């Protein structure tokens, strides 16, 4: 939650005292109800403040606070955020049940849905489970995320990664100064996603990147407007205002690009392969413009930062674990040799790389908290949920659960030795490990995300030795995506044979 919460709370306490009398009966109907049936009990809950409940206790790193609370109150625990009750789940066994439960296939509404997406009837990310969601998800899969499309966009990935390697090589030949890897990875990832979505017809990538960062930051905020809706119109923390600004930037970008493509297609001008071109030419005049904008917004928000952040954390762990770095470099030397860079075909020959990436995603899940909402009444694990109940699965806590993992805080890729294959096996499942979620709403971009992450990590580790300028701060910055709090800086030295 934003640090301004205390100020907000003071204002809220005063407003709430008055509002309570009028608003409470109305709000109670909307509030999540747990354990209402006689034979059902509610999950244990930590005590909270009147009105605000546990909102203030979440702090700036809610995933960590919630893990601590779960140690005391259990891995299925109720918390109260203003007037909304939310069930927090932090064990693998319980997470499986909730994420795979057909009733828990909606996302909660609130400001994010209203201002940061095109609503619950459009797109994928925030869309209500049903026909529109299914059609939009299928459009994403067939025009962007299928195995065939991932192969088709391989040239794009290669071109953008080569550009990054070229600039790093230049830096390595130069003054032995640290490069900002966080920035470089974010730009590269954004360039890949923009090129795939929009072709060459798009605006300034730096502005889009800033907008995506702001969107993922805002989407992760425990937003007081959602939990105390009767004061939402005051927008005390300014979140709504910032969300509207993000939506405006996105919307004008999408309008411009769609217009350009429509003109080209109408005039019979050949356009390069891109998601927009592909959707527009397959649907002709039948396409729903708002739905197309929603799909673009969802994929750019969910798809660009996620891969960059995963690579960043993986490199951070490798740089602070020289034994693992050396072992991975050895694997690359044997599989690829020192005379050339890595190619995508090399990836299946790199089992240790796979273990390293899994271990990094276990400790640093890009999406630390997965939100879901019940679309009908259901009973799970002895608890009863009414339609509209909210559940949040804490992937970060699951990855560090001592009941699932030996020495859970240690970075030790060998723990995955002998596991059945890639992290995408069985819905992205390894015991205790769900980095892409599960069930009907699991991540549709898993294969594309993993392909990029594997390829970039392999190249950076194979082509360069890395040196940290000082001790590496591993603090996190909470948002919809869990990024590094401080950018990753490191000094590269080119390690392939000259001329390669
Ligand atoms: C390393 C990379 C990635 C990670 C770790 C990741 C993780 C996740 C997770 C945990 C969810 C929530 C799943 C659930 O509710 O069970 C999700 C949803 C989603 N992801 Fe990803 N993701 C990645 C890359 C991508 C990419 C590249 C795209 C597309 C370009 C993408 C598009 C989406 C979409 C559209 C959803 C919403 C699915 C729905 O609600 O039906 N993701 N992702």
Q: Is the dihedral of CA 227, 228, 234, 237 positive or negative?
A: negative
Residues contacting 231, CB < 8 A, separation 6+: 11, 12, 15, 16, 19, 224, 225
- What is the arithmetic mean of pLDDT over 171-195? 92
pLDDT one-digit tens code per residue, 409-422? 999 999 998 775 44
- What is the arithmetic mean of pLDDT over 452-475? 97
β-sheet with 76-81: strand ranges across: 76-81, 84-89, 390-394, 369-373
What is the reported pLDDT for 284? 72
Q: Is the dihedral of CA 479, 481, 484, 489 positive or negative?
A: negative
Structure tokens at 106: 């909606």
Where does the pLDDT of residue 232 fall: very low under 50, low under 70, confident under 90, or very high at 90 and above? confident
What is the reported pLDDT for 201? 63
Is the pLDDT at 475 greater than 90, yes or no? yes
Query: Cα of 443 to ligand 1 centre, how many Å?
Result: 4
Minimum CA distance residue for ligand 1 atom 41: 441
Task: From 137, 302, 366, give the residue whose CB has the most ligand 1 atoms within 8 Å, as the site to mutate.
Answer: 302
What is the reported pLDDT for 28? 28
Structure tokens at 81: 């955020």
Specify the ligand 1 atom closest to the Cα of 126. Answer: 40
Query: Cα of 306 to ligand 1 centre, how many Å?
Result: 8
Q: Distances from the Cα of 16 to the Cαs of 4, 22, 23, 195, in angstroms? A: 18, 10, 9, 48
Is the pLDDT at 7 greater than 70, yes or no? no
CB 392 within 8 A of CB 87: yes
What is the reported pLDDT for 33? 39
Minimum CA distance residue for ligand 1 atom 19: 443
Can you tell me which residue has the tokens 């205390």?
6
Q: Could you give the ipTM of this predicted complex?
A: 0.99
What is the reported pLDDT for 160? 94
User: Residue 356 and residue 333: Cα distance in Å, rounded?
Assistant: 16
pLDDT one-digit tens code per residue, 59-89? 999 999 999 999 999 999 999 999 899 999 9
What is the reported pLDDT for 436? 94
Specify the ligand 1 atom closest to the Cα of 361. Answer: 5
What is the reported pLDDT for 37? 42
CB 379 within 8 A of CB 101: no
Range from 54-58, 220-224, 363-367, 469-473 carrying the lowest mean pLDDT: 220-224
What proportion of the chain, given as a percentage, has pLDDT over 70? 89
- What is the arithmetic mean of pLDDT over 338-354? 96
pLDDT one-digit tens code per residue, 283-299? 776 788 999 999 999 99
Is the pLDDT at 124 greater than 70, yes or no? yes
Q: Which long-range CB contacts under 8 A does 167-176 form with residues at least 24 apart?
A: 168/460, 168/463, 168/464, 168/492, 169/463, 169/492, 169/494, 171/492, 172/464, 172/492, 172/493, 172/494, 173/494, 176/491
Q: Is the dihedral of CA 233, 236, 242, 243 positive or negative?
A: negative
Range from 15-24, 110-119, 175-184 carrying the lowest mean pLDDT: 15-24
What is the reported pLDDT for 374? 96
Query: Cα of 452 to ligand 1 centre, how many Å?
Result: 14
Task: From 276, 445, 451, give the residue whose CB has the most ligand 1 atoms within 8 Å, as the site to mutate.
Answer: 445
CB 309 within 8 A of CB 452: no
Query: Cα of 435 to ligand 1 centre, how many Å?
Result: 9
Strands 390-394 and 84-89: parallel
Number of alpha carbons in the 13 Å side-chain half-sphere of residue 105: 17
Query: Cα of 144 to ligand 1 centre, how many Å?
Result: 13
Structure tokens at 352: 């240790």
What is the reported pLDDT for 220? 78
Torsion of CA 326, 331, 332, 338, to 10 degrees: 80
What is the reported pLDDT for 328? 98
- Tell me which CATH homologous superfamily contains domain 58-116+127-494: Cytochrome P450 (1.10.630.10)
What is the reported pLDDT for 22? 28
What is the reported pLDDT for 6? 38
Query: Cα of 481 to ligand 1 centre, how many Å?
Result: 11
Is the pLDDT at 18 greater than 50, yes or no? no
Residue 373, SS3 per DSSP: strand
Is the pLDDT at 336 greater than 80, yes or no? yes
Minimum CA distance residue for ligand 1 atom 37: 125
Is the pLDDT at 210 greater than 50, yes or no? yes
Is the pLDDT at 483 greater than 50, yes or no? yes
CB 241: neighbour CB atoms within 10 A? Answer: 10
Is the pLDDT at 495 greater than 90, yes or no? yes
What is the reported pLDDT for 216? 83
Query: Cα of 474 to ligand 1 centre, how many Å?
Result: 24
Query: Cα of 140 to ligand 1 centre, how many Å?
Result: 12
**Known binding positions:** 443
Minimum CA distance residue for ligand 1 atom 7: 436
Question: How confident is the prediction for the chain on average, in pLDDT?
Answer: 87
Task: From 123, 436, 439, give the residue whose CB has the most ligand 1 atoms within 8 Å, as the site to mutate.
Answer: 436
Query: Cα of 437 to ligand 1 centre, how many Å?
Result: 8
Where does the pLDDT of residue 427 fall: very low under 50, low under 70, confident under 90, or very high at 90 and above? low
Torsion of CA 346, 347, 348, 351, to 10 degrees: 120
- What is the arithmetic mean of pLDDT over 228-233? 83
Minimum CA distance residue for ligand 1 atom 43: 443
Closest CA to 395 of 487, 306, 275: 306
Where does the pLDDT of residue 15 fall: very low under 50, low under 70, confident under 90, or very high at 90 and above? very low
DSSP for residue 420: S
Residue 84, SS3 per DSSP: strand
User: Residue 237 and residue 489: Cα distance in Å, rounded?
Assistant: 32
Minimum CA distance residue for ligand 1 atom 9: 436
Ligand 1 residue neighbourhood (C-beta within 6 Å): 99, 124-125, 137, 140, 298-299, 302-303, 306-307, 310, 366-367, 370, 435-438, 441-445, 448-449, 453
Q: Distances from the Cα of 52 to the Cαs of 46, 49, 229, 499, in angstroms? A: 13, 6, 12, 63
CB 280: neighbour CB atoms within 10 A? Answer: 20
Q: Where are the beta strands (DSSP E) in 399-498?
A: 464-467, 476-477, 483-484, 489-494
Q: What is the pTM of this model?
A: 0.90
Is the pLDDT at 393 greater than 80, yes or no? yes
Is the pLDDT at 432 greater than 60, yes or no? yes
Is the pLDDT at 264 greater than 90, yes or no? no
DSSP for residue 80: E
Q: Where are the beta strands (DSSP E) in 352-482?
A: 369-373, 378-380, 383-385, 390-394, 464-467, 476-477
Minimum CA distance residue for ligand 1 atom 18: 443
User: Residue 196 and residue 202: Cα distance in Å, rounded?
Assistant: 11
User: Residue 123 and residue 116: Cα distance in Å, rounded?
Assistant: 12
**Known binding positions for heme:** 443
Is the pLDDT at 163 greater than 80, yes or no? yes
């Amino acid at each position: 939650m934003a640090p301004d919460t205390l100020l907000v709370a003071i204002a809220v306490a005063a407003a709430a005292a008055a509002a309570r009398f009028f608003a409470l009966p109305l709000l109670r109907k909307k509030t999540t109800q747990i354990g209402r049936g006689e034979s059902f009990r509610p999950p244990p809950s930590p005590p909270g403040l009147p009105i605000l409940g546990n909102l203030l206790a979440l702090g700036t790193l809610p995933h960590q606070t919630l893990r601590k609370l779960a140690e005391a109150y259990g891995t299925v625990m109720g918390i109260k955020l203003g007037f909304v009750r939310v069930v927090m789940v932090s064990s693998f066994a319980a997470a499986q049940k909730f994420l795979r439960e057909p009733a828990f296939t909606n996302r909660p509404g609130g400001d994010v849905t209203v201002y940061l997406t095109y609503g619950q009837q459009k797109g994928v990310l925030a869309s209500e489970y049903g026909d529109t969601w299914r059609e939009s998800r299928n459009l994403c899969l067939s025009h962007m995320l299928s195995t065939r499309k991932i192969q088709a966009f391989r040239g794009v990935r290669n071109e953008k990664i080569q550009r990054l390697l070229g600039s790093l090589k230049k830096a390595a030949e130069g003054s032995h100064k640290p490069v900002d890897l966080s920035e470089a990875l974010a730009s590269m990832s954004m360039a890949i996603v923009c090129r795939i979505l929009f072709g060459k017809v798009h605006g300034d990538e730096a502005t889009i990147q800033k907008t995506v960062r702001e969107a993922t930051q805002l989407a992760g905020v425990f937003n007081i407007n959602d939990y105390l809706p009767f004061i939402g119109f005051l927008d005390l923390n300014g979140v709504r205002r910032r969300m509207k600004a993000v939506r405006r930037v996105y919307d004008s970008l999408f309008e411009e690009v769609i217009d350009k493509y429509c003109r080209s297609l109408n005039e019979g001008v050949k356009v390069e392969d891109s998601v927009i071109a592909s959707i527009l030419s397959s649907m002709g005049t039948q396409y729903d413009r708002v739905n197309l904008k929603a799909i673009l917004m969802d994929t750019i928000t969910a798809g660009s930062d996620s891969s960059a952040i995963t690579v960043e954390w993986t490199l951070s762990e490798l740089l602070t674990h020289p034994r693992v770095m050396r072992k991975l470099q050895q694997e690359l030397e044997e599989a690829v040799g020192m005379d050339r860079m890595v190619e995508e075909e090399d990836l299946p020959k790199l089992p240790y790389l796979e273990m390293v990436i899994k271990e990094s995603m276990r400790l640093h899940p890009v999406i630390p908290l997965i939100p879901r909402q019940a679309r009908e009444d259901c009973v799970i694990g002895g608890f009863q949920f009414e339609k509209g109940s909210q559940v949040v699965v804490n992937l970060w806590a699951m990855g560090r659960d001592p009941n699932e993992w030996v020495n859970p805080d240690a970075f030790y890729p060998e723990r995955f030795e002998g596991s059945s294959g890639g992290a995408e096996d069985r819905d992205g499942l390894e015991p205790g490990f769900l980095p892409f979620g599960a069930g009907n709403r699991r991540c549709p971009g898993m294969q594309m995300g993993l392909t990029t992450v594997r390829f970039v990590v392999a190249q950076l580790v194979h082509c360069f030795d890395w040196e940290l300028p000082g001790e590496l701060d591993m603090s996190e910055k909470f948002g919809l995506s869990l990024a590094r709090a401080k950018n990753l800086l490191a000094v590269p030295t080119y390690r392939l044979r000259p001329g390669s």
